[in-house]
Structure 1
Amino acid sequence: MQGKIDMIITKSISRFARNTLDCLKYIRQLKEKNIPVYFEKENINTLDSKGEILLTIMASLAQQESQSLSQNVKLGIQYRYQQGKIHINHNRFLGYTKDKDGNLVIVPEEAEIVKRIYREYLEGSSMLQIARGLKADGILTGAGNHRWHTSTINKILRNEKYIGDALLQKTYTVDFLSKKRVPNNGIVPQYYVENSHEPIIPREIYMQVQEQLVKRRCVHISKNGKKRNYSNNHPLSQIVFCGNCHEIFRRVHWNNRGKKSIVWRCVSRLENTGLFCTASTILEDTLKEKIVEAINVAVSGKNSFLAILKKNIETVLSVDLDETTADIDKRLEELQAELIQLANSKEAYDNIVNEIYRLRDLRQETLSRNALRQDKRDRIAEMTDFLNTQTGDITEFDDKLVRKLVEKAIVYDDRLVVEFKSGLEIEVNL
């Protein structure tokens, strides 16, 4: 546009612009500089008297053609989705790449990173702690970055592709001109394909993580209805409760007559919860000592506690589910076959579709119950392994051990009750 261009020659209008407005806008800007545009296919010169009229007509046709092509591509993609054929961008997909046939295959060293993220989250680490640990160890993200964000960890923990499934059309293109993609909140159909590729994470572990994600959104609801959000800044956060009013204890930096100390105090005494409470404040050092004492009680009486744990795991295993996922999957296959045969019968068709929806909901509930049962088994196994391998008393408070073993600590005026994730309860005097 600085007088260096005499003429622009382009093959066709569709190559010059994708819509009529843009085409005319740039043509007029060029005409102001006395620069003609010649379209070979349509034989139009924009400096001709009839050029702009013809151009308007032809540009409109080109826009329609482009829109039609975009729609055809969209329908082709949707048809592949309906057939269960997945198309996944693997360039920034941690844990997977594609083979020469275009199939997703596991990258072993990256898969270990994914497994680490799931394991640490179930062990009690927050997304921020996991991200910091990965960065400290020099591990790169799927995009090759050194910096890990909590949003990246969150997406990995929620991604169904790590269990071998694929939810297709999570986003969609608003229109073919802007090519802007937005999250799909039910505007266009979504397709869920099971067992489309090799999983990295077992389905039971994935379901445990989903349960934990829900649990951490609101870990405790007070008697007055107030929600206490999950916090993992300290290994005792959200696990210390008041034995009097059942509210949580909060960590407080206390300055009593110039003497600084860290204490834990019932929130009913820190804020207006509507609950009257006279619970005593407990020094953090004392709280830690008593939790260590409770763990050592379990170690010293390991024989009797191992017997209790064995009974607990037998109880968990003896719980029969009404139907297994295999039973439900078999019934779903039968119904889908019936659906094809009875497509012409509206009444039968609707009945089968409703039953399929019911079974799908039941399948999800069964997976959740299986995950909870497996989580309980894992916690019992962890406590059993700890008692079997621990030969002497614990001499100091261990953050990781407490996160792994302790579910809850309830503070009374004269005692502390420690509830372990395995189901054991041990009481120590204060």
Structure 2
Amino acid sequence: MKEVEVIKANSSTSKSKRGKQIERIRVSAYCRVSTDSEDQLSSYISQKTYYTDLIQKNSDWIFAGIYADEAITGTQVTKREDFQRMINDCMNGEIDMVITKSISRFARNTLDTLKYVRMLKEKDIAVYFEDEKINTLTMDGELLLVVLSSVAQQEVENISANVKKGLKMKMKRGELVGFQGCLGYDYHPEDKSITINEEEAEIVRYIFKRYVEGAGGSVIGQELENLGYKTKYGNSTWVPTTVLGIIKNEKYKGDLLLGKTFTVDPISKRRLENMGEEDQFYIRNHHEPIISEEIFEKAHEILNRRNKNRGKIGDGNTKREKFSRKYAFSCLLECGFCKGTLTRRKWHSGSQYDKVIWQCVTSTKKGKKHCPESKGIPEQAIEDAFVESYRILCDSNKDVLDEFLRTMNETLSSSSVNKQLSKVEKEIEALEKKKSKLVDMRLEDVIDSETYEYKFSSLTSKQDELLNEREKLQTTAMNEKDIKRRLQEFKRTLEQNEVLHEFDRYVFESIVEKVIVGGYDEDGNIDPAQLVFVYKTGFKNSLDGNRFKPMRKNARGNRKTNELCSQTNNEVQSLSSHSSSDTCRDSNITTTTLNRIT
């Protein structure tokens, strides 16, 4: 039988690490509170003070600092900056032991608890939980840890269920839940009410007005950017989804829908749009509306029609409006024979004979037999006809012109950019005062160095953002000043009854309700070239489109085109990729300039 000699363990080696003797261990503490309530913040300060004294009073320990996260949930460690910093310091060999109050303070997610405990254990770094009296380097530590961290996670799930139940009860009573304000409204947390912000409300009214007039989300967004308007969160970029989100929001007609989203689980905190998985609560006449019920419903009718047709491009039974309002005449041309809309097409694309034609959608989608009288009409003919119609309007009908001038005066009197600039300058001044006060507090030793550095850095960062914003607003204000100067010149031109020399999209969209293409003359004869301009005040003007049809590019000798282009089987079916500005040529004031103030 072999003889086995037992070599007894030497406890002193446990105090060495990588062959280097450690006389005293470096100990840090981790503190956290999940809310910013007064009681919780008091507990947060008490934790920091307690652990600082505890570590410094122990002669075997070296104080390695306090890591603390204020008003941060424990279910997701990625959102806890100081926790992540502590783990990095541990992995860099700067800490030998971490003390925390309980498992729930360290993490309320079983998976995260075990992950980080094991990570530290591999580096011989202990985590000590005071309430549970668990040291993760002991033999039975992990077994207890698994059980207790599971209990902590279950506690979170129970709390989440109770909170959800409480929120639903509040919604059922008609209380405002989870709302922090939106464009056009200010939220008052003291009484959970909302009131109209008149400056922002003007932007909302403008969005609904332009949408009802036929403009799409991208067009309205571009106009808002040109005007220098900003979103609720100070963003100067208006994406189409932001504009459409405002159109969809029922709050603007005075109603309130609660429960639009829901949290999947308390651990991942992933939120999804409520598609019927949870109860929703609709409250009517909850607050003062910005938009009337009639305008809101009209906007939603347009929105629903466009959404319905989107994705049904090949369906001949639906009107294609995917590119609504991309061009000046989009959705504003009506067939005088079948009442359908006209779509924009480009014939002979890529050749020297290319031209833009507007055709009846019924004829192009269903076949010529469904609208045999209609014919394609050149875009330039419609533009030139409008210029002539506008001249007649200025000479014989002042109602539309007066309404247009009133709108111009309202635009010229607005000073939203200057108001925003003044607000930003006040915020910069307030931050400067806060920084000065913070310096005084540090000199008087009211706050410690670490808190001072954090707060001062945060204030400086905010101030830098505001300085950049002020610079952008100053540039926008200068541009707006130039736009107003040009508009004043244009306004004087209108007041002097001077006519347009070339087509202008802004003027067209501002005063025209629709254009009826084709119809019957006084004798009842078919006239596919007839153009009837219907103005928003009710004034109508009928013109012969043949008069404005441009010369054919392939005309020979005295050959002229006095006939409209009939549809053939080899017509190009693709839509033009040209932008809407193609239809708007320069005049006394450019369309781009006008769009910036609409």
TM-score, shorter chain, exceeding 0.5: yes
Partners in 1 of 2:292 and 2:361 — Cα distance? 39
**Does 1:250 find its partner at 2:347?**
no
Distance 1:42 1:192 in 2: 47
Structure 1 residue 235 corresponds to structure 2 residue 328: yes
Report the counterpart of residue 104 of structure 1 in structure 2: 194
Aligned pairs (5 A) from 1:26-425: 26-90=116-180, 93-99=182-188, 101=190, 102-217=192-307, 218=309, 224-230=316-322, 231-242=324-335, 248-252=342-346, 258=352, 261-265=355-359, 273-275=366-368, 279-291=374-386, 397-403=503-509, 404-411=511-518, 412-418=527-533
Structure 1 residue 147 displacement after superposition: 0.9
**1:429 and 2:544 are equivalent in the alignment:** yes
CA distance in 1, matches of 2:198, 2:365: 53
* Amino acid of the structure 1 residue aligned with 2:243: I
Deviation of the 1:235 alpha carbon:
2.0
Give the SS at the match of 1:136.
helix
| 1:158 to partner: Cα distance | 1.0
- Percent identity, aligned pairs only, is 38
Q: CA deviation at 1:20?
A: 2.2
- Residue type of the partner of 2:235? N
Task: Report if the CA contact (8 A) 2:319-2:361 is conserved.
Answer: no
Root-mean-square deviation (Å)? 3.6
- SS of the equivalent of 1:406 reads strand
SS in 2 for 1:9: strand
1:3 corresponds to which of 78, 85, 93:
93
Give the whole-Å Cα distance in 1 for the aligned partners of 2:244 and 2:184: 15
In the TM superposition, what is the alpha-carbon distance from 1:402 to its structure 2 partner? 3.6
Cα distance change on mapping 1:393 and 1:264 into 2, 3 Å: farther
Q: Distance in 1 between matches of 2:314 and 2:143?
A: 72
Are the structure 2 counterparts of residues 401 and 54 from structure 1 closer, same or farther at C-alpha, using a change threshold of 3 Å?
same
Q: Deviations over 1:164-204 (max 9, x none)?
A: 22111111000011011011100010011122222222222
- Distance in 1 (CA, whole Å) between partners of 2:213 and 2:337 is 29
- One-letter amino acid of the structure 2 residue matched with residue 282 of structure 1: I
SS at match of 2:272: strand
SS of residue in 1 equivalent to 2:528? coil
Rounded to whole Å, the distance in 2 between the matches of 1:417 and 1:181 is: 52
Deviations 1:289-335 (A, max 9, x none): 444556777888879xxxxxxxxxxxxxxxxxxxxxxxxxxxxxxxx
Question: For 1:80, what is the secondary structure of its paired residue?
Answer: helix
Q: Distance in 1 between matches of 2:250 and 2:498?
A: 42
**Residue 324 of structure 1 corresponds to which residue in structure 2?**
none
* Equivalenced residues, count: 344
- Contact kept, 8 Å, 2:390 with 2:500, in 1: the verdict is no
Inter-partner Cα distance in structure 2 for 1:286 and 1:409: 14
Go from structure 1 to structure 2 and tell me whether the alpha carbon gap of 1:268 and 1:66 turns closer, same or farther (over 3 Å shift). Answer: closer
- For residues 252-283 of structure 1, give each alpha carbon's deviation from its aligned partner in whole angstroms, at most 9, with x where no partner exists: 365798456544345688x6754355854433
Cα pair 2:513 2:535 within 8 Å, conserved: yes
Cα 1:9/1:266, change in 2 over 3 Å: same
Assess if the C-alpha contact under 8 Å between 1:173 and 1:182 holds in 2: yes
C-alpha distance in 2 between matches for 1:57 and 1:416 = 81
Greater Rg, structure 1 or structure 2? 2
SS at match of 2:108: coil
5+ residue gaps, structure 1: 304-388
Give the TM-score normalised by structure 1. Answer: 0.69
Q: In structure 2, how many angstroms separate the alpha carbons of the residues matched to 1:22 and 1:398?
A: 63
SS at match of 1:228: coil
Q: Deviations over 1:192-251 (max 9, x none)?
A: 112222222222221221122224444999994253225212221233355577573424
Contact kept in structure 2, 1:90 and 1:96, CA below 8 Å: no
What does the per-residue CA deviation read over 1:43-64, in whole Å, with 9 as the maximum and x for residues that have no partner?
1111222212222221121111
1:25 is aligned to 115
Query: 1:399 is aligned with what amino acid?
Result: R
